[in-house]
Structure 1
């Protein structure tokens, strides 16, 4: 009996087709001859693959190229409108949905009020309803939706797709969320923590573009999350709970946190904590945006409150810098709108508390992609998954990080 390994021909064909498609996407316009040279596949194999890709409208012929001797070649390019993806930001009090093409250009946007606290039995059907309404409004055939990325404000188990006891999602712990979302939407879903998606989006198109080691701090409407990129790849930890910077202790005698601990960063400078502190000082604001506007208008009280928040945030980030030594730190969410009112005191705290080798070299920036950053990251995650080589390494619902996916319209 032969010991030679068996070849799965359908899988091999799929891998070759995906490799050629990725080459056209990344290098197009490109000729068939150049594809054969770059892929090391035979010209007959390339011809078969291209015929299939032309038939499915994934690629198209765009004209005649320059001759290198002999007949001038017909050039091929990628069709970014061959299918579409949807990115969904599931926040504590709202849904944001983006339908984009495969270059992350936004075709349709929608938002809706939403209460995460109403629990999965209520929320999951609402997400599915808004998804279907978005696709219908865009007048896109649902069969052309190639993927859906969804971000939630809590960690997700990388193997099971279940939520991991998220403090900002009471009643959601252990819910098989990935499976239930796929059942409700009737298609495959890529599920990810919201701050991780923000980190990917900012590294690909925003304030951290080109940086391989990045810490992204996201101030949501309720909690504080973090996304960590190391060596160009998202770091999720053992089961998916890495990056929970909101629950680093900055003061052991500080206020209690809803996670059960005391003195967490989130309990000190999370949105509810900051607004409560503002109201206690007689500052009449109902949102972080209003607090920032008041400070920018010259209110000494509002400025002092933001400066204190920057100092407390600096205590947590100093520990992060000492431990991970990232090249960049990006501050996202509403607090990022404060700019130097927060970043100035934050830098001063890093200079006092961080190791010089880490704190003096880091780039500290406000986020660049605006309020839709999580939905943009979710769409990008779905695009990356479509271009993944079959059987590539990685978790069952996490696409490879660091691939080129185009330029979003909002960037």
Structure 2
């Protein structure tokens, strides 16, 4: 039985699971993200491995720019302090005695949705994750578009949406991540003088004009952003995952109505089937075919 461990590293939590070849989660654990991150990660993975010693390999999905060949973190920003420049693959292979592969978390989510989820059977798919940040993953002719000269391929959250706009963690102004992500919604809510969480905002928008305006701005920005992605990739489907997608029932109709006015061609837009499991499942897929 070729079971593997998939690990999803986020800004607030780390999820790890034993995954089989059918994408089933046989066992899992969630821990709070702590720093310095690498030694903490190694301890958690080794402990999990001791409980599940028959797994054959380990896949790691993480926020940030990743060099998948070297298995190192090129850039991670403030969400994972001290993570930039960290070697992950080599020391973790030594610590566990198992092959390790490392990839960006949004790329992992795209892999999971293309293999097991909403885009199963499709060749060209773009997956965006609206979470703490805005991630992106691209499946092109069935393969993950990954790496890049600086580990930044498919960093779709860093396409500039508003020139000279809000400052991003990458240091530039106006990145899409600052307008269509969970963190962006928190900032916009605060600037509007409201005291609600993003999920509460979408509920409040049913009765409150100020909240309605914020949701309209969010869906309009998201529609323009998606239309730009379509102009580049002309994909079969766009998938929306991440924490913000969990409240999609409250805003997906408005998004689709705005998309109808800006898309070049019809485009199916689906909510990720795996929600918060996608990163962990995709991390497992990095090593399942070994």
Provide the TM-score with structure 2 as the length reference.
0.90
Q: What is the match of residue 43 of structure 2? A: 129
Q: What are the superposed Cα offsets for residues 227-263 of structure 1, whole Å, 9 maximum, x if unpaired? A: 0011111111534422111111111132121212111
Equivalent-residue separation in structure 2 for 1:175 and 1:110 (angstroms): 23
Seen in structure 2, the aligned counterparts of structure 1 residues 159 and 83 have a Cα distance that, compared at 3 Å, is closer
Equivalent-residue separation in structure 2 for 1:130 and 1:172 (angstroms): 16
CA shift for structure 1 position 314: 1.7
Higher relative contact order (CA 8 A, sep 6+): 2
CA shift for structure 1 position 300: 4.6
Equivalent-residue separation in structure 2 for 1:213 and 1:300 (angstroms): 39
Give the alignment partner of residue 238 of structure 1, picking from 145, 148, 155. Answer: 148
CA shift for structure 1 position 153: 0.6
| Aligned residues between the structures | 288
Q: What is the match of residue 112 of structure 2? A: 201
Give the alignment partner of residue 26 of structure 2, picking from 98, 103, 107. Answer: 107
Q: What are the superposed Cα offsets for residues 209-236 of structure 1, whole Å, 9 maximum, x if unpaired? A: 2211100001222x11100011111111
Give the alignment partner of residue 322 of structure 1, picking from 216, 231, 254. Answer: 231
Question: 1:254·1:268 contact (CA, 8 Å) conserved in 2?
Answer: no
Whose Rg is larger?
1
State yes or no: 1:353 paired with 2:272: no
Seen in structure 2, the aligned counterparts of structure 1 residues 375 and 338 have a Cα distance that, compared at 3 Å, is same
Q: What is the match of residue 183 of structure 2? A: 272
Equivalent-residue separation in structure 1 for 2:200 and 2:29 (angstroms): 24
Structure 1: gaps (5+ residues): 1-81, 386-411
Seen in structure 2, the aligned counterparts of structure 1 residues 174 and 130 have a Cα distance that, compared at 3 Å, is closer
* Root mean square deviation of aligned Cα: 2.2
Question: 1:213·1:326 contact (CA, 8 Å) conserved in 2?
Answer: yes
Structure 2 matches for 1:58-77, cutoff 5 A?
none
Structure 2: gaps (5+ residues): none
Give the alignment partner of residue 229 of structure 1, picking from 139, 147, 151. Answer: 139
Provide the TM-score with structure 1 as the length reference.
0.65
Q: What is the match of residue 39 of structure 1? A: none
Three-state SS of the structure 2 residue aligned to 1:253 is coil
Structure 2 matches for 1:72-87, cutoff 5 A?
82-87=1-6
Give the alignment partner of residue 156 of structure 1, picking from 66, 87, 90. Answer: 66
